[in-house]
Amino acid sequence: MEEQTVKLLLVDDEPLALLRLRSFGLAARGFEIAGEAENGLQALQAVERLKPDIVVTDIGMPVMDGLELLKRLQALPSPPKVVLLTCYEDFEKVQVALRYGADDYLTKVLLSEDEFVGVLQRAAGTLRKEKGDAEQMVRLLLQELLLFPAGQLPDKLRQAGFTHDGYALSVIRTAGQLPDEAAEEWLAAAEPDPRFRYLAIRMAPDTWCLFFYSVDRESFASFYGWFYEQCGRIGERLRCGFAAASDVLDYVMSVGGVYHRTSDMHEAYSRGLTLCEAGFYAMPGELVREPEPCEYEPLPPERFRALLAAIGDAALRDDGQEAGDRIREWAGLIGGEYRPVPVQARRMALLIAAQLESFSWEKSADAEPAWPLERFKQAAESALHASVLACEARQLAGLMAQRNGGHTGRMRKEIKEALRLIARDYAQIELANAARQVNLSPSWFAALFRNETGKSFHDYVQDCRLDRAKSLLRTTDMKVYEVADSVGIPNSRYFSRLFSEYAGATPLDYRKGQQAAR
């Protein structure tokens, strides 16, 4: 999240003093003057209305002086930081104010802009640290409330300064663990609104809860519409992120209803997890909403047992074609004619994988390891959508049919076609696009490419680009940055480092060496 502007409230009964403070270049330093007041009583009213981060106040004022204002502010649930402005003769009052909780003080006489901004920056730094610590505490308390029925935790939340007028949850599950930075990336797609707020809470290595809540009772009627709109934005960011990662689009995002009681958080989160599981038969990337009950239809046990026996028998005979046909048949039934409970569908996939252990994966001359089976097992354990699991099953079936007991010695036609694409479009080709053009999922294409060529797709393309760069350096007068851009590595410094590692010389030294050789 971007760092927000720090809001100031200036309090002084001397107009010239306020004019001088306004003359300082505060906006360029990240500070906004949200309001002004002439005495402590006006300041209290302004604090309630404007919610400033820092109050800059004179000590000596009519109606209510700075000391009394400070005491009143310290009694608030989330008091702003207070910086005092004083004259030399008020030093005893300054000592009292510091004991009351003032953050810093400045003497008005000869006050400079740099001195003033420096004090504000220290106060803002303390404020940010305290907010970060408080937010982390709130995250931990919310995590416990989401995981377990409420006990004394609601009181602790209030003590931590967390209040709401209503909340809604979105639960996101991914097939595999994502870094903590991923949630901040998702939330970056949300559109801020001062009436509403949101937090990302990690519940498990593969599960996040996005907690949206309202802090403005008068605007609560529009909260759910805003919440659902932000979930749509985040969902779009997720889709783009998974596509850019060139991996199977396998995540599920549930969108729950609105709740008001803190004690209902555990129920709300449990409902979100249930919706995620119900999303097993939704399209990948589709938001799963309430109320959309999923009606499950089990695959008849006798039919599955017959398929399982046929797969096992074909695997024993090294008949990849027959085993593949039966696997495809099962994949067509899941999410098609039948909709078994997700855990049962995954269990069936694991049983199929167990039947394939006897298949002679390593009979070919290249002694290829049985990685397709391991990949299918991983999908069986972690797939969040029936369509993803079925896709993995079909691609496994196709590979088995092609091998048919290991009798393959030539490169797959899909990889040959990919090599032709790379030779033509090496400067801009991406894995996801190449996989789409040869009709394979990105993950299977990446694994097949490495198996067939001995290199990852990224490394192979990079080598092609650097080979082309060597040719351009030998045969043209193009500048290094022009060569870098033409081969698809527009960052010239990064290109020079890659080229040096690849060719054993910098681009300029390589060109000089080639010219000398001629």
Average the pLDDT over each of 77-86, 334-343, 400-409 and give the range with the smallest value: 400-409
Q: CATH code at 284?
A: 3.30.70
Across 403-428, average pLDDT: 74
Same domain for 365 and 344 = yes
Report the distance separating Cα 323 and Cα 317, nearest Å: 10
Same domain for 285 and 320 = no
Q: What is the pLDDT of residue 139?
A: 84
Angle between helices 442-453 and 457-475 (to 10 degrees): 60
Given a cut of 60, whether residue 408 has pLDDT beyond it is no
- Domain total of the chain: 5
- Sheet order of strands, 251-259 included: 196-204, 207-214, 166-174, 251-259, 287-289
Same domain for 513 and 478 = yes
The sign of the CA dihedral 213, 217, 223, 226 is negative
- Cα–Cα distances (Å) from 48 to 44, 45, 103, 267, 439, in that order, read 6, 5, 20, 34, 61
Same domain for 108 and 71 = yes
Report the distance separating Cα 237 and Cα 181, nearest Å: 14
Same domain for 389 and 426 = no
Same domain for 181 and 283 = yes
Among 78, 260, 91, 275, which Cα is nearest to 171's?
Answer: 275
Q: Is residue 56 domain-resident?
A: yes
Q: What is the pLDDT of residue 77?
A: 75
Q: What is the pLDDT of residues 223-282, one digit of tens each?
A: 999 999 999 989 888 877 665 554 445 889 999 989 988 889 999 999 999 999 988 998
Q: Is residue 361 domain-resident?
A: yes
Q: What is the pLDDT of residue 363?
A: 45
Confidence of residue 330 (pLDDT cuts 50, 70, 90): very high
Q: In the 8-state DSSP scheme, what is residue 20?
A: H
Would you say the pTM of this structure is higher than 0.95? no
Alpha helices in 245-363 (DSSP H): 265-278, 301-316, 320-333, 342-355
Domain that holds residue 503: 459-517
Given a cut of 50, whether residue 38 has pLDDT beyond it is yes
Write down the mean pLDDT value for the chain.
84
Q: What is the pLDDT of residue 280?
A: 92
Across 300-308, average pLDDT: 92
Q: What is the pLDDT of residues 45-102, one digit of tens each?
A: 999 888 899 999 888 888 888 888 888 988 887 789 988 888 765 666 666 667 766 7
Token pair listed for 137: 């505490």
Q: Is residue 72 domain-resident?
A: yes
Across 433-455, average pLDDT: 87
Same domain for 116 and 15 = yes
**Residues ≥6 apart with Cβ < 8 Å to 393:** 327, 328, 330, 331, 349, 352, 376, 379
Given a cut of 50, whether residue 364 has pLDDT beyond it is no
Q: What is the pLDDT of residues 111-169, one digit of tens each?
A: 889 989 998 999 888 888 877 777 788 888 888 889 988 666 667 777 666 778 889 99
Same domain for 361 and 267 = no
